[in-house]
Structure 1
């Protein structure tokens, strides 16, 4: 709603001087009801309303109570309705009303009193017969803008406002019936604006008075002049008696020949500035002589020029303008294709050819524009940046060049600029990073907004005088290296792709007075903290802070202002993180290791792992077990040294035999008398599913134990069976094992053995592992022997 209102307000203000505008504040309460087909003022408006727009509706009548409760009302727009009358007290309560627009209604008379603070009053384009109501404006001493219009304009009516120091007076002459000579001369105004679409007999009398009323005159909607009518006498009379210095013409159509004649008379008058808007050139364009001498003209502006003919000499048209001995020449929005270089040294200092169709050929090799200081060529069809630079090379006074919104490109060719050019505008030209190789070496201000620049090349070394660099709306991922521009004081990189400025770039740009990095997709992690810290040390340096500096990532912080972003220092500082996080972790690991060592956890883990693996092997060999039930008589054969017999008989055997259905082969009870010891050893090993060897330092000293281990080891490889169980009763250092027992050394290195734990708490797991290793169902026909004869295989 506010945007629509400001657009409407801008249209209303187009004719008003700047000092007549209401001062809009951020706390103004706006009511926009334009284009709502209203037939009356809407009730129950906010009593705090300060700006109210009711334009372009069908309101016919205003009641005294419509605005009585709007005590803070400052701006009221009622234009383009059907209001016929203003009652006496309609604005009696609006003491702060400053801006009132009642134009384009059906008012015939005014009986109300306007608030004394009124600065802007427009009652033009109504149905007034005369301006007699102006006598009620005598108390409006603060009035700056006054819009009028009536069928009869009389001197007496305007004398009632002659004492008011008006900044601008607008008079709508549409429907003019009678004009009394010298009526306009009584006005005390800085600017006079007349509008008409009629060819009234008194129109030249009005113009004659207008050019003597003020120095700033604007004429609009005077229609098209017919060819053949001789206006020379009227124009000559008006111009010769004029005190005008500034003339603005709007919506005017004149035959080419008449235009040349009028321009010639204006050229040699007191006029200093001529602005022509929406101008149509009629009839054929022919070459016509023009005298440029004896002129006060300094500025000529043509905006929105249309030519009704298509076949004419372009040079005849361009030559008229190129030879003008003035300072300022503006031709905009006119489809200008080309412009000739002046034939002799020109006085032109400022040229504006924006919004046309000019190409790279303009002013090439031109030697006569040596006084030109400003050249604006925005929104044209320039393509080569090198050609643009060559165009300026001989413009030895050129200081500012605007080539924005042109499809420029740089192909790496030589660039030769005006020697003193200091300001360059190349906004919206689709230029890449290579443009920095073509900038003037003495440039001080460069506008490169809305291009395709991703970085500033590090070999850019010639821009030592650059002070102001605008790189907004590009593709930069970091600040440029400010050391490339030793004189840089201001830089703008808003709306780029900067997650956060790197510490190096911030350090390099620390000498800047102003920097704008706002509206970038900031990543609110540790890297952004350096930037925030830099901002806190340089208050006022960052433009747009804090509103334009908002987190984009992570998602949970999106929309958070950087000034509200907080991340504990420990997350970003490794020297803080180590003692706070890493040290406790290390202490915890050592503590866990110490506890495991104290409670012998590794032993338990290792034994459980052995038990699991044994169970897996047993299940995976189920078919082989069925065969073992028929072939083996014993679950295990036990081999041990006689020195360890006490442990075997008192601890190992009772514990094994307490297990259900476990049969053990023991040399003391199961060797067959009459057979040799070796034969008995072989038979016992062959008839046993497993061979258990109780290892200790005594075991390695026994020769027969070594035989038993040898045969069991041979069976391991010959039958590819997992038949060995090693129980380490006591630790055996490797150096104690004789070298001839290399098989024992190899087995202890290759195979996992069970260690007999000294702690009773570990015995249960030991027996579980042993049972899992030897548990198998044997044939029912086999008989368990119970005879035990103590002896040693020695």
Structure 2
């Protein structure tokens, strides 16, 4: 009988689907939840799991990593290992006290970074400069009191920047010079009081600018210089006393919200520089005098009804801002005037009848 032959059969089982079910170092296997579309598209959901650090040995095929609502305080060097496919990283609701300058090193495909409500007092500029392809950056609901001029110097691809609900007292003009392709900028709910000349002059592609819920009382006539493409401007809930002439620089403006300011007078031809305007909101302003504005008669409709603010339009849906075409203005003055006229008319009628009745008696 000839020598026996051994046949070795290798069964190759792909390892990628087991990334989330296999034990991670120091973590329970079911600590996070994973969803896969194919072998190169993996979403890892670790929301509100009590994590104090980034999980180790995450799959290199992870495209979306959500670490929101945990207790992560530090992002060390190369905190996300070899996750070369990561496109979206969410860190909202953590309490980041330290971010290493190379914490995001290796994340060459990252396009979205959410640092909402992480307790940041300064912009982690050195770490951000590693993200050459980043398009969306959320730094809202933090404790930023200033944005240094070099904060975004490596983010030339950035399209959306959220800085609302911080402690900013000035617009980050110097920092914005490094993100010329920005299309949406939110600076609402800060402490801005004045918009200085050319505050946004490098943002020639900006479509949306949100400045609501500040303390703005003064606008330089050239504060919007350079915003040739701006379509939506929100200055609601500020302290403007007059209708700013700065709007005349916004030749592409389609939607202007001035709700809840202190404007009592609109000068004649105030909108002559806004040929594309479709929607003007002047609700809850103490308007007493409205000059002869030819533009108002050309708007699709001029009404007095109030749009509900309970469901504001999503910040990121830029394409939806021009779907409604209307002009809304505050109507309390006109209503009061009408009521006063009716009251005087009825009073005069009553007095006349009383006099005639007495004359008949005599």
Q: TM-score, normalised by structure 1?
A: 0.33
Given the superposition, is the C-alpha separation of residues 465 and 541 from structure 1 closer, same or farther in structure 2, using an over 3 Å criterion?
closer
Matched, 1:355 2:144: no
Instruction: Select which of 67, 70, 79 maps to 1:276.
Output: 67
Q: CA RMSD in A?
A: 4.1
Matched, 1:448 2:235: yes
Deviations 1:61-100 (A, max 9, x none): xxxxxxxxxxxxxxxxxxxxxxxxxxxxxxxxxxxxxxxx
1:619-634 maps to which residues of 2 (within 5 A)? Answer: none
Structure 1 contact 493–518 (Cα < 8 Å) conserved: no
Matched, 1:398 2:193: no
Matched, 1:389 2:184: no
What's the CA shift for 1:253?
Answer: 1.9
Given the superposition, is the C-alpha separation of residues 463 and 374 from structure 1 closer, same or farther in structure 2, using an over 3 Å criterion?
same
Larger Rg: 1
Structure 2 contact 280–327 (Cα < 8 Å) conserved: no
Q: 2:113 is paired with a residue of what secondary structure?
A: strand
Given the superposition, is the C-alpha separation of residues 367 and 359 from structure 1 closer, same or farther in structure 2, using an over 3 Å criterion?
same
What's the CA shift for 1:297?
Answer: 2.3
**Partner residue, 1:375:** 161
Deviations 1:673-713 (A, max 9, x none): xxxxxxxxxxxxxxxxxxxxxxxxxxxxxxxxxxxxxxxxx
Matched, 1:335 2:110: no
Instruction: Select which of 316, 320, 336 maps to 2:103.
Output: 320
In structure 2, C-alpha distance between the alignment counterparts of 1:363 and 1:323, rounded to whole Å:
25
Structure 2 contact 197–220 (Cα < 8 Å) conserved: no
Structure 2 contact 135–159 (Cα < 8 Å) conserved: yes
Aligned residues: 300
Given the superposition, is the C-alpha separation of residues 513 and 292 from structure 1 closer, same or farther in structure 2, using an over 3 Å criterion?
farther
Q: 2:194 is paired with a residue of what secondary structure?
A: coil
Matched, 1:417 2:199: no
Matched, 1:490 2:276: no
In structure 2, C-alpha distance between the alignment counterparts of 1:508 and 1:541, rounded to whole Å:
14
In structure 2, C-alpha distance between the alignment counterparts of 1:247 and 1:304, rounded to whole Å:
17
Deviations 1:128-186 (A, max 9, x none): xxxxxxxxxxxxxxxxxxxxxxxxxxxxxxxxxxxxxxxxxxxxxxxxxxxxxxxxxxx
What's the CA shift for 1:541?
Answer: 6.5
**Partner residue, 2:192:** 408
Q: 1:509 is paired with a residue of what secondary structure?
A: helix
Given the superposition, is the C-alpha separation of residues 513 and 248 from structure 1 closer, same or farther in structure 2, using an over 3 Å criterion?
farther
Given the superposition, is the C-alpha separation of residues 356 and 231 from structure 1 closer, same or farther in structure 2, using an over 3 Å criterion?
same
In structure 2, C-alpha distance between the alignment counterparts of 1:235 and 1:362, rounded to whole Å:
42
1:631-642 maps to which residues of 2 (within 5 A)? Answer: none
Q: Which has the higher helix share?
A: 1
What's the CA shift for 1:432?
Answer: 1.8
Given the superposition, is the C-alpha separation of residues 476 and 367 from structure 1 closer, same or farther in structure 2, using an over 3 Å criterion?
same
In structure 1, C-alpha distance between the alignment counterparts of 2:203 and 2:113, rounded to whole Å:
20
What's the CA shift for 1:340?
Answer: 1.5
Instruction: Select which of 249, 257, 275 maps to 2:46.
Output: 249
Give structure 1 stretches of 5+ with no counterpart.
1-206, 212-228, 520-539, 559-564, 569-794
1:83-232 maps to which residues of 2 (within 5 A)? Answer: 230-231=25-26
Given the superposition, is the C-alpha separation of residues 508 and 567 from structure 1 closer, same or farther in structure 2, using an over 3 Å criterion?
farther
What's the CA shift for 1:556?
Answer: 4.4
In structure 1, C-alpha distance between the alignment counterparts of 2:247 and 2:115, rounded to whole Å:
36
Instruction: Select which of 40, 60, 76 maps to 1:287.
Output: 76
What's the CA shift for 1:279?
Answer: 0.6
Structure 2 contact 248–271 (Cα < 8 Å) conserved: no
Deviations 1:247-298 (A, max 9, x none): 4333222243xx2515xx14x12x332333321127xx47343466563322
Structure 1 contact 330–351 (Cα < 8 Å) conserved: yes
In structure 2, C-alpha distance between the alignment counterparts of 1:240 and 1:319, rounded to whole Å:
28
What's the CA shift for 1:475?
Answer: 1.3
Given the superposition, is the C-alpha separation of residues 373 and 542 from structure 1 closer, same or farther in structure 2, using an over 3 Å criterion?
closer
What's the CA shift for 1:488?
Answer: 2.1
Given the superposition, is the C-alpha separation of residues 542 and 340 from structure 1 closer, same or farther in structure 2, using an over 3 Å criterion?
closer
In structure 2, C-alpha distance between the alignment counterparts of 1:363 and 1:371, rounded to whole Å:
17
In structure 1, C-alpha distance between the alignment counterparts of 2:246 and 2:91, rounded to whole Å:
44
**Partner residue, 1:297:** 86
